[in-house]
Chains A and B, each alone.
Chain A
Amino acid sequence: MLKRLILVRGAEIALFVVLGALPLVVDSPFVLGLLTLLAIYGVALIGLDVTVGYLGQINLAQVAMLGLGAYLAGIAATRYGVGIPLAVLLSGVFCTVVGALLALPALRLEGPQFALATLSFTALCATALNELEWLTNGAQGLSITRPLLLGHALDARDFFWLCTAILALVWLAMRNLMTSQWGRAFEALRDSPIATDAMGVGTYRHKVAAFAFGSGLGGAAGALYAFNFVYLQPMTFVYELTVILLLGVVLGGRKSLWGAVVGAVLVAVLVALLPNLLSSPLLFRVFSGIAFALALVAGVRGLVRRKAAAFRALAPIAATLTLVVGSFLASNTEDWRKAIFALLLFSVVVGLPEGLMGFASAGLARLFRVAPPALPPPAPLDAVLPARPADGSVLLKLDALSCHFGGVRAVDGVDLTVKAGTIHGLIGPNGSGKSTLVNVVSGLYAPSGGELRLRGAALPRGKPVAAAKAGIARTFQNLQLFGGMTALENVMVALRGAWRVPLPLVLLGLGRLEELRGRAAALALLELVGLRGEARTRATDLTYGAQRFLEIARALARRPELLILDEPAAGLAQPDVQRLLEIIRRVQQRGITTVLIEHHMDVVSELCETVTVLDGGKVIAEGSPAQVKRDAKVITAYLGAAEPDAAPPGAAPAPAAPAGAP
Chain B
Amino acid sequence: MPLSVVVQIAVSGALMGLVYALIAYGFQLTYATSKSLNFGQGELVMVSAFVSLTLLGTGLPYAVVVPLGILFGAVLGAIVERVAVRLALQQKNDGWILLTIIVGLFLVSFAENVWGRDDRPFPTPIPDDPIHILGVDVTWLEISVAVGVLAIMALVEVLKRRTLLGKAFEAVSADRDAAELMGISATRTVTLSYALSGAVAAVAGILVSPITTVGPTMAAALVLKAFSVAVVAGLESGFGVVLVGLILGALEGLASLYIGSGWRETPGLLLLILALAVRPTGLFGKAKIRKV
1/0 contact trace for B26-70 toward A, CB 8 Å? Answer: 000001000111010000000000000000000000000000000
Asked if A109 meets B97 with Cβ closer than 8 Å, knowing A116-B227, A345-B102, the reply is: no
A113 touches B270 (CB 8 A): no
In Å, the complex CA distance between A411 and B31 comes to 34
Specify which of B91, B95, B273 is in contact with A120 (CB 8 Å cutoff).
B273
A111 touches B94 (CB 8 A): yes
A295 to chain B, nearest CB (A): 15
Chain A residue contacts of B266, Cβ below 8 A = 124, 127
Specify which of B35, B102, B262, B290 is in contact with A111 (CB 8 Å cutoff).
B35
Chain B residue contacts of A105, Cβ below 8 A = 273-274, 276-277, 280
In Å, the complex CA distance between A435 and B289 comes to 14
Chain B residue contacts of A16, Cβ below 8 A = none
A120 touches B87 (CB 8 A): no
Asked if A337 meets B280 with Cβ closer than 8 Å, knowing A112-B97, A131-B262, the reply is: no
In the complex, B105 has a CB within 8 A of chain A: yes
A-side binding surface: helix, strand, loop or mixed?
helix
Specify which of A117, A127, A309 is in contact with B231 (CB 8 Å cutoff).
A117
1/0 contact trace for A587-631 toward B, CB 8 Å? Answer: 000000000000000000000000000000000000000000000
B109 touches A309 (CB 8 A): no
In the complex, A123 has a CB within 8 A of chain B: yes
In Å, the complex CA distance between A342 and B40 comes to 12
In the complex, A315 has a CB within 8 A of chain B: yes
Specify which of A112, A119, A338 is in contact with B35 (CB 8 Å cutoff).
A112
Chain B residue contacts of A343, Cβ below 8 A = 106
B102 touches A405 (CB 8 A): no
In the complex, A243 has a CB within 8 A of chain B: yes
A388 to chain B, nearest CB (A): 27
In Å, the complex CA distance between A478 and B95 comes to 27
Interface residue range, chain A = 35 or more
In the complex, A3 has a CB within 8 A of chain B: no
B269 to chain A, nearest CB (A): 4
Chain B residue contacts of A342, Cβ below 8 A = 102-103, 105-106, 109
A109 touches B276 (CB 8 A): yes
In the complex, B108 has a CB within 8 A of chain A: yes
B31 touches A243 (CB 8 A): no
B113 touches A339 (CB 8 A): yes
- B277's nearest neighbour on chain A, judged by CB, is A105
In Å, the complex CA distance between A250 and B142 comes to 44
In the complex, B7 has a CB within 8 A of chain A: no
B77 to chain A, nearest CB (A): 17
Asked if A127 meets B36 with Cβ closer than 8 Å, knowing A108-B280, A243-B105, A247-B98, the reply is: no
Asked if A112 meets B105 with Cβ closer than 8 Å, knowing A250-B98, A339-B110, A435-B292, the reply is: no
In Å, the complex CA distance between A120 and B271 comes to 10
In the complex, B179 has a CB within 8 A of chain A: no
B-side binding surface: helix, strand, loop or mixed?
helix
A43 to chain B, nearest CB (A): 22
In the complex, A312 has a CB within 8 A of chain B: yes
B292 touches A477 (CB 8 A): yes
- A106's nearest neighbour on chain B, judged by CB, is B276
1/0 contact trace for A328-342 toward B, CB 8 Å? Answer: 001010011111111
Specify which of B87, B112, B272 is in contact with A335 (CB 8 Å cutoff).
B112
- B86's nearest neighbour on chain A, judged by CB, is A311
B102 touches A338 (CB 8 A): no
A194 touches B290 (CB 8 A): yes
- B285's nearest neighbour on chain A, judged by CB, is A113
In the complex, B178 has a CB within 8 A of chain A: no
In Å, the complex CA distance between A230 and B215 comes to 33
Considering residues B95, B99, B102, which has the most beta carbons from chain A within 10 angstroms of its beta carbon? B102
In Å, the complex CA distance between A480 and B86 comes to 28
A338 touches B106 (CB 8 A): yes
B98 touches A246 (CB 8 A): yes
Chain B residue contacts of A476, Cβ below 8 A = 292
A271 to chain B, nearest CB (A): 14
A478 touches B289 (CB 8 A): no
In Å, the complex CA distance between A350 and B86 comes to 11
* A–B Cβ pairs within 8 angstroms, 20 of them: A58-B94, A104-B277, A105-B274, A106-B273, A109-B280, A116-B230, A127-B262, A130-B262, A131-B262, A243-B101, A332-B113, A338-B109, A339-B106, A341-B105, A342-B106, A345-B102, A346-B103, A435-B292, A477-B292, A480-B292
Given pairs A338-B112, A346-B102, 4 additional interface contacts (CB within 8 A): A102-B273, A113-B235, A117-B231, A439-B292
